[in-house]
């Protein structure tokens, strides 16, 4: 199998606004749901917030130079909705847009392609106070916001993404409550999932109405590679049910224009789905120029009648499940090496998902828009940060991408998560995903050995060997 990637392949890193920017009250920005959530006692590890994060708002030029030094040709970032449109309604705040104008100009000046994500979980708090994503109106507010950003940056940004991981927004935010806004209502989670789908469709239409014709619009999903623990009928049905809630609840309407009927049946005791209005499903299915896939680890499920069984689904501890209507399924810790997140290292799941979505979205190019791992990286006595575990992770997962490409998957880019150690949501600053270490006290940036390895890959397009040790 060739370890060489084609010319023109996008080699990038990815970040999210709330995780890196800081400056929560500067230039007109108002609170997002993550500001409110992280300032609520007991919601994040150690009471951590994104108030400073890694101070990217003030260190933008330094961070872009880091990318340039690594030879990256793309950077996937998100726009803070409350920085651009503080209440989620009305005109844009130009001071907020100016930050992103400057960021894009810096990127283009270094030959780095900007890849813009409109929504990475930072809903303006005022919209949440009005009901948030469980309310239909939020989808229309999102489309308005998309149009504002498209008008401001469409002359220099060619690649656009509507939503990042809507599954997390819906089911961790409104189901299990481990993400902002921290609600624990299974019906609200299902309603949120639909309105995120609708918001994607409306925002795509809004973008295409203001962007140049050669612009590309995408969405980034985090599909789960769901595996049955055994081949028993019960375990196979558990796999089907979780696949509907993890994957087909979004890929159905977005790619096929219809929700799966078995999802309706599985959740019938919670809702009749009457919040899906006539024409909605067709509206969710907008032509895509690419499809983003975020992958970290697979899930293993089985049928279970034990209501006290520990849930190893990789989505944080909560007394409330992120799986609406599912009360007879157990999640198991997959075997093998684990990352600092407790997630198994299994690149075969990457391969399986790429081949699956090649079949389900024929003719739509794929991109890995997030892939990476958290490890307990520490500098040595000389200040050097060696992270061989991360290099092994990246090598194995990129080998899986190359294998999928050899088998027919049209994969156009890989965005490593993440450029910088940062605010890792409810885990605070305890999990480090970056290829650049950040000392959170001094904000000093130190590229790790994985950054140098990735730079060599970006320069040559050939997978470097994994160093010994």
Rounded Cα distance, 240 and 229, in Å: 12
Beta bridge partners of 415: 12
**First CA to last CA across the chain, in angstroms?**
25
DSSP character string of 270-298: T---TTS-TTHHHHH----S-EEEE----
Tell me the C-alpha to C-alpha distance, in Å, between residue 359 and each of 254, 354, 408.
15, 9, 10
Q: What is the DSSP letter of 468?
A: P
Instruction: Please confirm, yes or no, whether 26 is among the known catalytic residues.
Output: no
Sheet holding 329-332, edge to edge: 226-228, 299-303, 329-332
**Cβ neighbours of residue 387 under 8 Å, at least 6 residues apart?**
375, 377, 435, 448, 449, 450
Kindly provide the residue ranges of all beta strands, DSSP E only, lying in 36-87, ordered along the sequence: 74-78
Dihedral sign from CA coordinates of 398, 432, 341, 367: negative
- Catalytic residue, chosen from 135, 352, 370, 389, is 370
Beta-strand runs (E) in 313-467: 329-332, 366-371, 411-417, 436-438, 445-447
3-class SS shares of the chain: helix, strand, coil, % to 5: 40, 15, 45
Strands 74-78, 10-14: parallel, antiparallel or unpaired by DSSP?
parallel
Cα 74 to Cα 217: distance, rounded to the nearest angstrom: 16
Please name every residue paired with 163 in a beta bridge, in sequence order, or none if there are none. 119
Q: Mapping DSSP to helix (H, G, I), strand (E, B) and coil, where does residue 420 land?
A: strand
Q: Yes or no: say if 156 and 104 are a contact pair by the CB < 8 Å rule.
A: yes
Is 137 among the residues known to form the active site?
no
Beta strand pairing call for 226-228 and 291-294 = unpaired
Query: Is residue 394 within 8 Å of 453, Cβ to Cβ?
Result: yes
**Choosing from 135, 165, 352, 389, which is the catalytic residue?**
165
- Retrieve residue 197's tokens: 């789908």
Rg (CA), the chain: 21
DSSP three-state, residue 436: strand
Q: Cα–Cα distance between 426 and 423 in angstroms, integer?
A: 8
Give the active site residues. 165, 370
């Amino acid at each position: 199998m060739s370890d060489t990637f084609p010319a023109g392949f996008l080699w990038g890193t990815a970040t999210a606004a709330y995780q890196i920017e800081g400056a929560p009250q500067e230039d007109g920005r108002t609170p997002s749901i993550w500001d409110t959530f992280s300032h609520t006692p007991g919601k994040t590890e150690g009471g951590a917030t994104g108030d400073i994060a890694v101070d990217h708002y003030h260190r933008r030029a330094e961070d872009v130079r880091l990318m340039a030094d690594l030879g990256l040709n793309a950077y996937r970032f998100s726009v803070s909705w409350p920085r651009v449109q503080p209440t989620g309604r009305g005109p844009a705040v130009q001071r907020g847009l100016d930050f992103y104008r400057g960021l894009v100009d810096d990127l283009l000046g270094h030959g780095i392609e900007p890849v813009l994500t409109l929504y990475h979980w930072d809903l303006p708090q005022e919209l949440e106070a009005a009901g948030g994503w469980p309310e239909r109106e939020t989808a229309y507010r999102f489309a308005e916001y998309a149009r504002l950003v498209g008008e401001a940056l469409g002359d220099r940004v060619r690649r656009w993404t509507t939503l990042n991981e809507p599954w997390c927004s819906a089911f961790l935010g409104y189901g299990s409550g481990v993400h902002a806004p921290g609600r624990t209502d299974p019906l609200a989670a299902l309603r949120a999932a639909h309105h995120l789908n609708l918001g994607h469709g409306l925002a795509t239409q809004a973008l295409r109405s203001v962007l140049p014709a050669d612009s590309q619009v995408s969405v980034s999903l985090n599909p789960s590679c769901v595996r049955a623990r055994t081949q028993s009928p019960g375990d196979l049905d558990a796999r089907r049910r979780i696949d509907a809630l993890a994957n087909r609840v979004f890929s159905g309407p977005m790619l096929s224009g219809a929700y799966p009927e078995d999802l309706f049946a599985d959740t019938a005791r919670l809702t009749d789905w009457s919040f899906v209005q006539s024409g909605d499903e067709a509206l969710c299915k907008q032509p895509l120029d690419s499809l983003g896939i975020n992958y970290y680890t697979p899930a293993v499920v089985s049928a279970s009648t034990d209501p006290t069984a520990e849930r190893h689904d990789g989505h944080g501890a909560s007394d409330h499940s992120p799986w609406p209507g599912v009360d007879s399924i157990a999640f198991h810790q997959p075997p093998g090496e684990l990352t600092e997140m407790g997630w198994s290292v299994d690149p075969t799941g990457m391969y399986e998902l790429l081949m699956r979505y090649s079949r389900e979205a024929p003719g739509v190019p794929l991109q890995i828009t997030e892939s990476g791992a958290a490890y307990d990286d520490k500098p040595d006595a000389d200040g050097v940060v060696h992270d061989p575990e991360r290099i092994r992770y990246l090598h194995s997962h990129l080998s899986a991408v190359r294998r999928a490409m050899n088998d027919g998957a049209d994969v156009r880019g890989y965005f490593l998560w993440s450029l910088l150690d940062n605010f890792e949501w409810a885990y605070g600053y305890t999990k480090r995903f970056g290829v650049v270490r950040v000392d959170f006290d001094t904000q000093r940036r130190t590229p790790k050995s994985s950054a140098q390895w990735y730079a060599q890959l970006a320069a040559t397009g050939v997978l470097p060997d994994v160093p010994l040790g």
